[in-house]
Amino acid sequence: MQNQEIIKIIENLKGRKNYEQKKATKLGFPSLYAYFEDKILKEKQAFELKENKINENMNQDKVEKKEKKSCSCC
């Protein structure tokens, strides 16, 4: 089953379709569909990785704030 999102992207390429086709071939993909499938997958992974780093930083900031309190009045 093909992803409708990828099909829509390919249909909307218009003048850039030849450029993207050459790029996909150069990178070793058998079709334009496979190229965009891989591209979307990488974007999702990058977004998840960035989101995880943000969550880790927020957790570290909370821990550091708790540790910074040195007196009982704060």
68 vs 57, which has greater pLDDT?
57
Q: Please give the span between the terminal C-alpha atoms of the chain, in angstroms, as a whole number.
A: 59
Q: Could you read off the pLDDT of 17-65 as tens digits, one per residue?
A: 999 999 999 999 999 999 999 999 999 999 999 998 888 888 777 666 6
- pLDDT for 63: 66
- pLDDT for 70: 63
CA distances from 56 to 5, 9, 10, 23, 53 (A): 31, 34, 36, 36, 5
Rounded to 5°, the CA angle 31-8-35 comes to 25
Structure tokens given for 52 = 């995880």
User: What is the 8-class DSSP label of residue 70?
Assistant: -
Which amino acid makes up residue 14? Answer: K
Mean pLDDT of 7-16: 93
67 vs 51, which has greater pLDDT?
51
